[in-house]
Amino acid sequence: MNSALTVLLVEDDPNVRLGCEQAMQLAGISVMAVATAEEAQRQLAAGYSGIVVTDMRLPGMDGMALLRWINQLDADLPVIMITGHGDITLAVEAMRAGAYDFMQKPFSTGDLVEVVRRALEKRALVLEVEALRRRLDNRDDLESRLIGRSPQMVRVRQLILDVANAAVDVLIMGETGTGKEMVARCLHDYSGASREHYVALNCGGMAETLLDSELFGHEPGAFTGAQKRRIGKVEYASGGTLFLDEVETMPLTMQIKLLRVLQERVVERLGSNQLIPVSCRVIAASKADLKLLSDQGKFRGDLYYRLNVVRIDLPPLRERREDIPALYDAFLLQAAKRYNRPLPTIGSDEMRRLMAYDWPGNIRELHNAADCRVLGVGHSTPGNAMVAEAPSLTEAVENYERLLISDELSRQSGNIARTAETLKIARTTLHDKLKKYGLLSA
């Protein structure tokens, strides 16, 4: 039984109310007692995480009217009715009206606790199913945050859903602008710690002393200018998520301290000898190959393997060109709303040019291009001239072929045999094209 569930007791007789309240409290059940149905209405809301135990006869609104009101509010909220001796007709009417059960006075506190426990178990199950349904429904929301129907992005979204609620550290790899922080944020938002702190820190371009203080905190007098205690990012993120961007730039001495935090889950503020327990998920992101840096002695191998428990690889935009139209449309819509400008119409020639460009700045560059398009100003990124150039026939054919194959592969749920059959090509030919366009599953 979920200990967070509460019983709302509605009883106007103070002696009966106190007796029922004490019996449930002794049984370890959380209970809140009120004297009238009107008071109960003020406590209840849609999705109330508990049950109601109410007397049938109350001053003002009676128990039956309260039951009907609750059924309109939440038909799955269990209501236990307390009836007087001889009120069997009322008890039957209450059960027909949707009451979970009824207790006839006089009743033993043991019987009351047993019925309440059963009702709480039913309520916990209903709430659990609703939470699961919401989480499944959130798949659509995740698709609106990580846009793309390419096989690579489908795998990324599925991996996020698979590991979000697991207390496991994650390494996100990808070029600049591929959306590493968005993935980190989704991992946090879809986890059980979503209401706790999400703390982000970019390790790049930060002096070692400052990074030490930012990560682990410091005590007054720890260094020149340290006038008061500072809680570090690791400690502040305890219970939630710590996101370390550009972790490849972290100095080796800081890597040693971070490794200790990951292994022992304790932090020591600069200038202090006190070990402070911490419990947070660490998500690290890097645009560089940490394994290669480790082999070159530029990144600690033990830290790399400690961070690389679960790895999410984000593809560059040039490797998932079929996602460009959906991304660009979404960015145009966002920009039109943000700048209060009309939504521009995009012709097929313009879209072909967008899909032919390599987008070295990835999603961030595409986002900027959409903003400029809505504002009616030129896109000033390097290589803009390339965007204005029409693709060659070979490039256009390859882009179109890649899009057709990707779409059919998605429709066939990744089944290569059915995809080849639908496209009327040999499986070996399809396999070669999947390899050529980077569409093979990892």
**Cα separation, 179 vs 287, whole angstroms:** 11
* Statement to judge: residues 35 and 157 lie in one domain: no
For 359, left (φ over 0), alpha (ψ -120 to 50), or beta? left
Give domain status of residue 79, yes or no.
Answer: yes
pLDDT one-digit tens code per residue, 327-351: 998 898 888 888 888 888 887 788 8
pTM score, two decimals?
Answer: 0.59
- Please state the domain count of the chain: 3
CATH number of the structural domain spanning residue 303: 3.40.50.300
* Statement to judge: residues 247 and 350 lie in one domain: no
Give domain status of residue 137, yes or no.
Answer: no
Cβ atoms within 10 A of the Cβ of 116, count? Answer: 26
User: Are 367 and 406 spatial neighbours (Cβ–Cβ below 8 Å)?
Assistant: no
In degrees and rounded to multiples of 5, residue 382 shows phi and psi of -60, 140
Residue type, 60: G
**Cα separation, 358 vs 330, whole angstroms:** 19
Domain boundaries, position 91: 6-129
CATH number of the structural domain spanning residue 332: 1.10.8.60
Is residue 391 exposed (0-12), middle (13-18) or buried (19+ Cβ within 10 Å)?
Answer: middle
Of 187-191, 279-283, 361-365, 415-419, the poorest mean pLDDT is in: 415-419
Q: How many residues does the chain have?
A: 442
pLDDT one-digit tens code per residue, 30-58: 999 999 999 999 988 766 889 999 999 99
Give domain status of residue 402, yes or no.
Answer: yes
Closest C-alpha among 215, 216, 192, 194 to residue 203: 215
State both tokens at 406. Answer: 């990707």
pLDDT one-digit tens code per residue, 218-273: 888 878 777 888 899 999 999 999 999 999 999 999 999 999 999 999 999 988 88
Give domain status of residue 193, yes or no.
Answer: yes
269, 288, 315 - which closes a domain: 315
* Statement to judge: residues 323 and 302 lie in one domain: no
Residue 326 C-beta-side C-alpha neighbours within 13 Å: 15
* Statement to judge: residues 207 and 159 lie in one domain: yes
* Statement to judge: residues 331 and 311 lie in one domain: no
**Cα separation, 328 vs 403, whole angstroms:** 16
**Cα separation, 52 vs 55, whole angstroms:** 10
Q: How far, CA to CA in Å, does 109 sit from each of 16, 55, 252, 298, 401?
A: 10, 15, 64, 69, 73
Give domain status of residue 43, yes or no.
Answer: yes
User: Are 2 and 124 spatial neighbours (Cβ–Cβ below 8 Å)?
Assistant: yes
- Helices and strands of the chain, counted as H and E runs: 19, 12
* Statement to judge: residues 169 and 230 lie in one domain: yes
**Residue 386, SS3 per DSSP:** helix
Is residue 361 exposed (0-12), middle (13-18) or buried (19+ Cβ within 10 Å)?
Answer: buried
Give domain status of residue 231, yes or no.
Answer: yes
* Statement to judge: residues 354 and 415 lie in one domain: yes
In degrees and rounded to multiples of 5, residue 24 shows phi and psi of -70, -40
pLDDT one-digit tens code per residue, 162-191: 999 888 999 999 999 999 999 999 999 999
Cβ atoms within 10 A of the Cβ of 332, count? Answer: 21
Q: How far, CA to CA in Å, does 396 sit from each of 50, 357, 424?
A: 60, 11, 21
Give domain status of residue 139, yes or no.
Answer: no
* Statement to judge: residues 308 and 386 lie in one domain: no
* Statement to judge: residues 259 and 360 lie in one domain: no
* Statement to judge: residues 275 and 155 lie in one domain: yes
Q: How far, CA to CA in Å, does 422 sit from each of 405, 427, 438?
A: 10, 11, 20
CATH number of the structural domain spanning residue 90: 3.40.50.2300
pLDDT one-digit tens code per residue, 264-297: 999 999 888 899 999 999 999 999 999 999 999 9
Q: How far, CA to CA in Å, does 237 sit from each of 58, 93, 222, 244, 348?
A: 49, 53, 22, 12, 47
**What local confidence, expressed as pLDDT, does residue 1 receive?**
44
State both tokens at 33. Answer: 């007692």
Is residue 4 exposed (0-12), middle (13-18) or buried (19+ Cβ within 10 Å)?
Answer: exposed
User: Are 56 and 87 spatial neighbours (Cβ–Cβ below 8 Å)?
Assistant: yes
* Statement to judge: residues 326 and 308 lie in one domain: no
Mean local confidence (pLDDT), 10-28: 92
User: Are 315 and 361 spatial neighbours (Cβ–Cβ below 8 Å)?
Assistant: no
Residue type, 188: H
283, 298, 315 - which closes a domain: 315
pLDDT one-digit tens code per residue, 58-113: 999 999 999 999 999 988 899 999 988 667 788 888 888 899 999 888 889 899 99
Give domain status of residue 197, yes or no.
Answer: yes
* Statement to judge: residues 102 and 27 lie in one domain: yes
284, 315, 346 - which closes a domain: 315
- Measured in whole angstroms, the distance separating CA 290 from the mean position of its chain's CA atoms is 26
User: Are 416 and 405 spatial neighbours (Cβ–Cβ below 8 Å)?
Assistant: no
Q: Which residues contact 345 (CB under 8 A, 6 or more apart)?
A: none
